[in-house]
Structures are given as structure tokens and as C-alpha cells.
Homo-oligomer: A and B are copies of this chain.
Amino acid sequence: MDLVANFVRRYELDSLISPDLLEALTPLRRMPGEFIIGSGEPVRSLFFLVEGRAKAYRVLENGQSILAAFFGPLDVLGEVELFSSPRYALSVVALEESVCLALPVEAVKKAAERNSRLFMYLCARLGEKLDDRNLAESINLRYPVENRLASYLLASMDGEGSILGTDDLGELADFIGASYRQLGRVVRRFRGEGILEKARGRIRVLDRAKLAPYARDLYLGTECRIRPEAFGP
């Protein structure tokens, strides 16, 4: 059985993509920690994340990195730069073992007339992402680190409390836009409340219920809500 065809059927991608374009879909497997997209690389493909989870982040000139988004199936990656930039702005790295279907950008542009639904879908998801960023930015500007940390943890923990993204405190500090020191203070407080445990710079969530009240919906709404079927015939 064909892997690509299987995913296409599962997510009804054929309602978005014309048959000739469907043939150009190439599967791409990534293990946790591996790059799906590297910031600065030339934009060659549009990706559909069909399995696994991933996160996108930006690296600033001073070396700090900032978390931008989490992704899960079904979502699109690389559509931000598709028509607006020759190079990827953000890096995307797999959190779990993931599968993407890659579509060459030239093929997409060439077959534009036959794929108006795909473009509507892209516009839809872009609009959604923009709105999410806007809201998250507003909240980030208003809430202290403890809320941002709680949100990150809830968004990236698995069932056992392990952190799928990074549980490294230094990296985490960069991600949520705080100093290592401040993050350490919050972690210590959370640890005191029995919310999480820490060992050698890594953390694990012990009590999800106690963590939730701190999270303020920061990342809760950032998963993809747009459904391909909505653009079907």
C-alpha cells in the first residue's frame, strides 16, 4: 500500500490538490530533534505535516531563539514563504517522529489555476496563524513568565509529563522570551507547589491539573482548526 496515497485519503487532500499535483507529493520522515525546515534555506517545498508534532522558532541576531508555534496533523509548513520570500524565515524541528508530504513550489505555482481550493486553504490557514500570533502576542505582552511557562509545558508535554519540545532550561528560557535566571525562579516555585520536578537542568510535569490555571489559553488555540473538507467540491 502506498504511504502517500494513504495519507492523502486520510486527510482528503485530493479535495485540495489536483491529480497531477498529487503525484508530485513526496514523503519525508523526520525523527525527534531533526529539522523539517531550516531558517535561511531556499524555499523549495510546501509541506503537509500528516503525522507527528513539530515546533517552529526564530533565531535572533544575538543568538536568542524565540518559539513561534507548534504543529500537528494536519497542518501546512512553509506556506508563509511560498510567495513572499525566497528563504524560510523560521526553523521547524520535529518533536515526535513525523511524516511530511512535500510539494515542490514550482509545481504549485505552475498548477495554480487548477488548484484554487488549495490556495483558499492556504489563505485560510495563514489567516488563522496570523490571528493566533496576534492574540498570543497580545497576551505575551501582558502576562508574566510563569504563565508563559505553564502554557509552553501544557502545549508540549506528553501523557507522562515529559516535555516533547525541549526540557532544557536554557533553551526553554530562549523559547518563552525570559532569562535563564527568571525561568529558574519560576521553576523553583512550581517545584515547591509540586507541579513539576527537576533534575540536572531538565524538568518534568508532575501535576497537570495544578499547572493548567497558570496557562491562560496562551497556546491552547494555536492548533490548526481549518479542515481541508471545508474546501471540497
A131–B130 Cα gap in the complex (Å)?
A: 9
**Contact residues of A between 82 and 131, Cβ < 8 Å to B:** 82-85, 89-90, 109, 112-113, 115-117, 119-131
Question: Can you name the residue of chain B whose Cβ is closest to the Cβ of A59?
Answer: B138
A188 at the binding interface (Cβ < 8 Å)? no
Q: Which of A47-55, A60-68, A194-202, A205-213 contacts B (4 or more CB under 8 A)?
A: A60-68
Given A120-B83, A122-B123, is A133 in contact with B137 using a C-beta cutoff of 8 Å?
A: yes
List of B residues within 8 angstroms of A60 by Cβ: 138, 142
Contact check: which of B115, B124, B130 meets A129 at CB < 8 Å? Answer: B130
List of B residues within 8 angstroms of A80 by Cβ: 126-127, 130-131
A140–B136 Cα gap in the complex (Å)?
A: 12
Q: Is the pair B89, A134 in contact by a Cβ cutoff of 8 Å? A: yes
Q: Is the pair A113, B116 in contact by a Cβ cutoff of 8 Å? A: yes
Which of A80, A84, A140, A177 has most B Cβ within 10 Å? A84
Q: How large is the interface on A (under 10, 10 to 19, 20 to 34, 35 or more residues)?
A: 35 or more
List of B residues within 8 angstroms of A58 by Cβ: 134-135, 138
Contact check: which of B112, B123, B130 meets A133 at CB < 8 Å? Answer: B130
Given A137-B137, A141-B66, is A124 in contact with B83 using a C-beta cutoff of 8 Å?
A: yes
List of B residues within 8 angstroms of A121 by Cβ: 83
Q: Is the pair B66, A127 in contact by a Cβ cutoff of 8 Å? A: no
List of B residues within 8 angstroms of A81 by Cβ: 127, 131
List of B residues within 8 angstroms of A127 by Cβ: 79-85, 126
Spell out A's residues near B (CB within 8 Å). Answer: 58, 60, 64, 66, 68, 79-85, 89-90, 109, 112-113, 115-117, 119-131, 133-138, 140-142, 177, 226
Can you give 10 A-B contacts (C-beta < 8 A)?
A66-B137, A80-B131, A83-B121, A84-B226, A85-B127, A119-B119, A119-B122, A123-B123, A136-B137, A142-B177
- Complex A-B, nearest 9 residue pairs according to Cβ-Cβ distance, in ascending order: A83-B124, A84-B127, A141-B177, A126-B126, A119-B119, A112-B116, A80-B127, A137-B137, A66-B138
